[in-house]
Amino acid sequence: MKALVLEEKGRLSLREFDIPGTLGPRDVRIRTHTVGICGSDVHYYTHGKIGHFLVTEPMVLGHEASGTVIECGAEVSGLLPGDRVCMEPGIPDPTSRASKLGIYNVDPAVRFWATPPVHGCLAPEVIHPAAFTYKLPDAVSFAEGAMVEPFAIGMMVALAALAGGCARVIVADLARPKLDIIAAYDGIETVNIRETPLPEAVAAATDGWGADVVFECSGAAPAILAMHELARPGGAIVLVGMPVDPVPVDIVGLRPRGLPLIVANPDLTHPGEDGPVIETGALLALLHACVPRARSCVAGKPSAHLFRMALGPVAPEAALMIGDNADTDISGARRLGIPTIHVGSGAQATGLPGFGCLFPDEAHVLGAVAGD
């Protein structure tokens, strides 16, 4: 079958290409409909690498995809031929320590589409595990389904920061169309760095104090080098973006302010009935950074009883409970008047353990996000 092949740095071809694969009992065969072009596809084309991932032989590009199921393995349930779906591009080892801890997205053994030496999905058909294939609601188009995986990472972080309690979020970028989209959300302010230096804008918004949390989502070396200029003393910096090459970090700038660096895998999203659902790994990492004075972290599937035990003497209105699957009992928290967020997780598809966290209220957190 024909596929879009990156032959080498700077050279693409659309040609017949054999992608090895056999439909297993828990796999589905999918006719590809829409594939997005990610920044990583562009980087592999322009640079031939991202960090230590090197293109050393022809590779099929693409990992943001949607399509239609055309065949199911013998043990697949929940999906049928004809179902419109989108696909999670990273396949972990379900027996690994990372997967068993519920952090399968950072499994060292993960095989991610269009990441050397794994081929991508810019081809007419793909075979994919059913556990990482999600049926699209009728209201979600193929194009929107393909966008579920990237979900404009900078915007996802900004929305997660709002969900985590940030009273104000500043999103910075040099592309006006992206800034106009995110500016439509309440609580989000935008800065076009072509017009206003971001440190100047953050200083003006915080009376010179700085942001409580800075999320660097671009992966751009200049942004990473200057990120300490945005955070307040004792704040936090979360690195989300993926630089093409190793980049310098200004330790001298970070140390006097006591700024910890948190490296967060943005993880993925999957389509819910009311729109994309942010995966737990991404949301909890970001919420934890937003609200650094976490009281406790509860493992397993939190019940109201377990929640109350962890909460202890903390006032109910000073906490936030996050449940990550349908079995999480958040009704007890709601009865106590405790704010709750219910988010989707890969645990739903893989049987991996879910977990919840409790966070104190942080009424005046401000996050500065360098846009993707």
Task: Write down the mean pLDDT value for the chain.
Answer: 75
Q: With beta carbons less than 8 A apart as the criterion, state whether 3 and 125 touch.
A: no
- CATH 3.40.50.720 maps onto the chain at 153-263+366-370
Q: Which of 25-34, 246-255, 347-356 comes out lowest in average pLDDT?
A: 347-356
- Per-residue model confidence (pLDDT) at position 165: 75
- CATH 3.90.180.10 maps onto the chain at 2-146
Q: What DSSP character marks residue 28?
A: E
Residue 18, exposed/middle/buried by CB under 10 A (0-12, 13-18, 19+)? exposed
Tens-place pLDDT, residues 253-273? 999 998 888 776 655 444 455
Judge whether residue 307 has pLDDT over 70.
no
Neighbours of 181 (CB within 10 A): 14
Hey, what CATH class is 153-263+366-370 in? alpha beta
Measured CA to CA, the distance from residue 229 to residue 235 in angstroms comes to 11
Mean pLDDT of 306-321: 36
Judge whether residue 316 has pLDDT over 90.
no
Name the residue with tokens 């493992």.
299
Tens-place pLDDT, residues 137-175? 999 899 988 887 766 677 778 887 887 778 889 999 988
Host H or E run for residue 304: helix 304-311
Span 2-146 CATH architecture: Alpha-Beta Complex (3.90)
Judge whether residue 71 has pLDDT over 70.
yes
Q: What are phi and psi of 304, to 5 degrees?
A: -60, -35
